[in-house]
Amino acid sequence: MSGTDKTKTGRDLRGPVVILVEPQLGENIGMAARAMGNFALSRLRLVNPRDGWPNIAAQRAAAGADHILDHVELFDTVTEAVADLDLLFATTARAHDQAKPVVGPEAAAREIVAYVAAGGGAGILFGRERAGLTNEEVALADRIVTFPVNPGFASLNLAQAVLLMGYEWFKLATAGVLPFAMPERSERASQHQVQAFFDNLVAELDKVEFLRPREKRDTMLVNLRNIFTRMEPTKQDMHTLHGVIMAIAEGRKGPAKGGVLDGEQATRLRALLAEQGQGGGASADASSTVRGLARLLRRNPTDAERILWQALTKDRRFAGLFKRQTPVGRHIPDFVSFIHRIAIELENPDESETIVADRAKRREWLEERDYRVLNLRAAEVERDLAGELDRLASNLPARRDAP
């Protein structure tokens, strides 16, 4: 049930009784019950349902409105179903030529709300899917309800008719209170704060000679200022906008800010990792350096790493299995699955002897601890990702739930 917040308590309101006269399909009963549940209507009566009761199709279509279906009341005739009600409305799309008031759903709901609040019993009749209500059944009602619909296509299905009446009743019964509102914004920015931001913006625009030609400068500044005053910015808005201007003006400060490394940069970083890792289990400083370099690589993947990582997180065969640039002991493979004890090493073109030797040591260390190490060529990942993923999948253990 999309949109249902199960952490919230539903409304418990006394509303009108909904009476479905000789409904033909269980699905229609279930959908009508669902519409009732949307607007806190809980009392449902059925008159001679064609397919009997209970009905499994109704339960399926109710989409969770079981609390309504579990308390359905059954009757053989409309007369019996409405006997205890003092105010009865009959819904119809056709004129029945009967001398009784004809009202729209909002007017009917208004009268029902007042009547029920005073302790009265009200009900709404809904007719058969094909033929609606008979003249004799409409004659039992105090009012006729009809809907302002396209006269050339006036027929509503059962659930639609119930939903329209339920909506109008619930809206009036709850004073139209919405279930949620816009979150409270931070405090509105002061004029001083807006001016400081604007001065900073103008200074940066001047640096790139945006405010030209000079004779139009004043007009452009007025237009720019109006953009921000119209939005009634909060203090948080100003902080964010100021940060945006600074980031654009100053640019990304080095690769640690999160970018994409080219092959040469990645090779240099991996060489540093290899050199730092050669000291074995070494000092805390060396270990800290290795982890810092690993974080740098994690924040700045090569194209091949980025492509493979996105695939590993989106492909259902690998979802949740692998981590990237995560230490295993003192070693940091490119990708590792602790669940399956598999390490993936991406081989880049023209790697130095130091990197090759370090990878060999890493493989030996991991295999001694029952890890399988799979080497993938970065060029092949970029050229034939699907093929490399299939090859990787073939190395995973068969799923336990596989047939």
Map out the domains of the chain as residue ranges. Answer: 17-173, 191-251, 263-394
Tell me if the pTM is above 0.75: no
Homologous superfamily in CATH for domain 263-394: VSR Endonuclease (3.40.960.10)
How many whole angstroms from its chain centre is CA 354? 48
The predicted pLDDT at position 139 comes to: 92
C-alpha distances (whole Å) from 156 to each of 160, 162, 232 are: 6, 10, 45
341 in Cβ contact with 328 (< 8 Å): no
User: For the chain, what is the mean pLDDT?
Assistant: 82
189 in Cβ contact with 235 (< 8 Å): yes
Q: d(Cα 84, Cα 120) in Å, to the nearest integer?
A: 10
Q: Which CATH architecture has domain 17-173?
A: 3-Layer(aba) Sandwich (3.40)
Structure tokens at 242: 């100021």
Do the domains spanning 17-173 and 191-251 agree at the CATH topology level? no
Instruction: Order the strands of the 335-337 sheet from edge to edge.
Output: 323-324, 335-337, 342-347, 372-377
The predicted pLDDT at position 251 comes to: 61
343 in Cβ contact with 371 (< 8 Å): yes
169 in Cβ contact with 41 (< 8 Å): yes
Q: Which CATH architecture has domain 191-251?
A: Orthogonal Bundle (1.10)
Whether 99 shows a pLDDT value over 90: the answer reads: no
345 in Cβ contact with 334 (< 8 Å): yes
Alpha helices by DSSP H, 251-368:
263-277, 284-299, 303-314, 353-368
Whether 257 shows a pLDDT value over 80: the answer reads: no
Whether 360 shows a pLDDT value over 60: the answer reads: yes
Q: d(Cα 156, Cα 130) in Å, to the nearest integer?
A: 10
Considering only CA atoms, which of 294, 252, 254, 249 is closest in space to residue 272?
A: 294
Q: d(Cα 208, Cα 134) in Å, to the nearest integer?
A: 78
Burial zone of 362 (CB within 10 Å; 0-12 exposed, 13-18 middle, 19+ buried)? buried
pLDDT over 70 for what percent of the chain? 81
C-alpha distances (whole Å) from 214 to each of 199, 225, 244 are: 17, 17, 26
Q: Residue written as tokens 């109008």?
A: 168
- HSE on the CB side for 182, CA within 13 Å? 3
Structure-model confidence comparison of residues 178 and 270, the more confident one = 178
pLDDT per position as a tens digit, 115-168: 998 989 999 999 998 888 999 999 999 999 999 888 888 778 899 999 999 999
* Partners of residue 302 on adjacent β-strands: 261
pLDDT per position as a tens digit, 100-117: 899 999 999 999 999 998
CA angle centred on 68, ends 66 and 69, rounded to 5°: 65
Number of H helices, E strands in the chain: 16, 11
Average pLDDT on 257-266 reads 53
Range in 30-44, 151-165, 236-250 with the lowest mean pLDDT: 236-250
pLDDT per position as a tens digit, 179-189: 776 666 678 88
Whether 30 shows a pLDDT value over 70: the answer reads: yes
| CA-only gyration radius of the chain, Å | 35
* DSSP H or E run through 46: strand 44-47
228: Cβ contacts below 8 Å, ≥ 6 apart: 194, 197, 198, 241
Structure-model confidence comparison of residues 183 and 56, the more confident one = 56
Structure tokens at 180: 């949620």
The predicted pLDDT at position 35 comes to: 92
β-pair type (323-324, 335-337): antiparallel
Whether 253 shows a pLDDT value over 60: the answer reads: no
The predicted pLDDT at position 7 comes to: 53
| Helix, strand, coil percentages in the chain from 3-state DSSP, rounded to 5 | 45, 15, 40
Strands (E), 109-200: 122-126, 143-145
Strands (E), 213-272: none
Structure-model confidence comparison of residues 60 and 285, the more confident one = 60
60: Cβ contacts below 8 Å, ≥ 6 apart: 27, 30
Whether 262 shows a pLDDT value over 90: the answer reads: no
- Using DSSP, state whether 91 is helix, strand or coil: strand
Q: d(Cα 352, Cα 265) in Å, to the nearest integer?
A: 13
pLDDT per position as a tens digit, 318-333: 888 888 877 787 777 8
How many whole angstroms from its chain centre is CA 31? 24
Q: d(Cα 157, Cα 166) in Å, to the nearest integer?
A: 14
Q: d(Cα 16, Cα 114) in Å, to the nearest integer?
A: 11
The predicted pLDDT at position 270 comes to: 62
